[in-house]
Chain A
Amino acid sequence: MMAYELHLLTNYLIVGALLFGIGLIGFLSRRNMIVMFLSAEMMLQGVSISLVAWGRYFNDLDGQILVIFIITVAACEAALALALILMLFQRRGNLDIALWHDLRESNQPPYVDRELPETPPYASGPWPSLTPAGRRPDLPREETDYRSHV
């Protein structure tokens, strides 16, 4: 009986650690701001799994209550992160976090993109587009340059 509960705890803690590590790798290495946001959420999920496992081991509901608060804080974080992403996108017209590398420390060298072969389009074709409806809005020319064709 004892070994059963311990083994259960071990298994769930390992899954939590794996989720946390994968989310960490994504947050550190991806450059798309929205994918970075998803990775941060994934790290929270890993911690939540560990908390629920400990809560079951000690038969204590506080583990689950802490996860409820994690979900609350994650919702706040999502609202702020998406607002920030929207604002940054309006400034530079791109989701690339590397465009903001002038926020780096003064003694760091700038990041330089290396040359890549020509962009291969998605094999499945472009994303679906919505049927136009109503009057076409007048957009400033700069905005039409980077707007995606949705």
Chain B
Amino acid sequence: MNSPQAIFVAATLLGAVAMWLLLPRGQARGRPLGILLGTIGVGLLASQVPRIGRWGEDSVFLILAAVTVIAAAATVTLRNPLYSAIWFGLSLLGTAGLFLLQGAAFLAVATVIVYAGAILVTFLFLLMLANSQGGAYYDRVAWEASLSAFAGTVIVGILSMTTIDVLADPSDRLVAAAATEAELATGVLSDYPIALLGGELFGRHLIAVEVAGTLLLAALVGAAAIVAQSRSNRPAGVSDPGDSPPSAMTENQAKAEQR
């Protein structure tokens, strides 16, 4: 019963029950129990992961990973979508810290800049569209909470079990491909990582950059077209309020709805 597989199965089941308890089910009962079970499940999983081996890096990594994962779980499970957006921002900051630890300085900064704007826009959308009095039905009840919690945790369990299993006994090819410290010092962990990254990006991957630019343009035009189309579907009186009395506009809109 002490075999690693049994521990992974236990962690998966605990995580599934915890996510089911935490997801909105129309009532708020069982959330402390869910937090407790989730902590135990993640702790069991973490007990199977080999420690990095240098205590300074270990502690920084563990703190950042805990912030990221806890904020992610809060994003998914909280009922108030505004809190979800804030917790998602915290999760992104944790991710940026993990990027920085891995020598991806440019990605850390880019994540913060790009997603800070995204969070702000999401926040505005929520203030504009969501039910500000709270307790909207669709925020209090989740679809099939048990099934989706089970599916998600089983995927995490299988992924982590195979990852730990394979990397505990790596093939010779994988070991030979690993970078040495001297190589890293002139590559990913060099003093000028962003210059190297830029050289690589605009050298070997120049065509991909052009394609990405085209994709951005296409998405911009597409988003504008979607919004413009939904505007033109509405009756003409709505875009120019004040021309006709409200009752006439309502009739127009009713006709548009029937069409």
From B72, B218, B238, contact of A42 by CB (8 A): B72
Contact A87 B230 (CB under 8 A): yes
From B72, B114, B122, B227, contact of A75 by CB (8 A): B114
| Residues in A neighbouring B241, C-beta threshold 8 A | 137-139
| Known interface pairs A95-B138, A98-B138; A19-B68 also in contact (CB < 8 Å) | yes
Contact A87 B227 (CB under 8 A): yes
Say how far A7's CB is from chain B's closest CB, in angstroms. 4
Binary A-proximity of B205-216 (CB < 8 A = 1, otherwise 0):
100100010011
Contact A59 B188 (CB under 8 A): yes
Binary A-proximity of B172-207 (CB < 8 A = 1, otherwise 0):
000101111101100111000000110011000100
Contact A21 B152 (CB under 8 A): yes
- For window 73-114 of B, CB contacts with A under 8 Å fall at 73, 75-77, 80-82, 84-85, 88, 91-92, 95, 98-99, 102-104, 106-107, 110-111, 114
- Decide if B134 is an interface residue (CB 8 Å cutoff): yes
A120 to B140, CA, bound (A): 10
Binary B-proximity of A1-43 (CB < 8 A = 1, otherwise 0):
1111111111111110111111111101111101101110110
- Decide if A76 is an interface residue (CB 8 Å cutoff): yes
| Known interface pairs A12-B102, A73-B215; A22-B163 also in contact (CB < 8 Å) | no
Contact A18 B88 (CB under 8 A): no
| Residues in B neighbouring A7, C-beta threshold 8 A | 50-53
| Residues in B neighbouring A59, C-beta threshold 8 A | 179, 183-184, 187-188
Contact A2 B163 (CB under 8 A): no
| Residues in B neighbouring A149, C-beta threshold 8 A | 132-133
A14 to B251, CA, bound (A): 57
| Residues in B neighbouring A17, C-beta threshold 8 A | 155-156, 159-160, 163
Contact B88 A80 (CB under 8 A): no
| Residues in A neighbouring B143, C-beta threshold 8 A | 28-31, 98
A28 to B142, CA, bound (A): 9
| Known interface pairs A22-B76, A52-B104, A58-B178; A120-B223 also in contact (CB < 8 Å) | no
Contact B164 A80 (CB under 8 A): no
From A10, A12, A15, A31, contact of B164 by CB (8 A): A10
From B77, B138, B140, B187, contact of A94 by CB (8 A): B138
Say how far B211's CB is from chain A's closest CB, in angstroms. 9
Contact B52 A61 (CB under 8 A): no
From B104, B148, B160, contact of A25 by CB (8 A): B148
Known: A22-B69, A32-B81, A126-B133. 8 other contacts (CB 8 A): A11-B52, A22-B72, A34-B81, A57-B179, A58-B177, A74-B114, A76-B219, A84-B226
Spell out A's residues near B (CB within 8 Å): 1-15, 17-26, 28-32, 34-35, 37-39, 41-42, 45, 48-49, 52-53, 55-62, 64-65, 67-69, 71-80, 82-87, 89-91, 94-98, 113-114, 116-117, 119-122, 126-127, 129, 137-142, 148-150
Name 22 A/B residue pairs within 8 A (Cβ), A-sorted. A6-B175, A13-B160, A28-B144, A28-B152, A30-B142, A31-B139, A39-B75, A41-B118, A42-B88, A48-B107, A55-B102, A56-B104, A57-B178, A57-B179, A58-B178, A69-B212, A79-B223, A82-B223, A89-B129, A96-B138, A119-B133, A126-B132
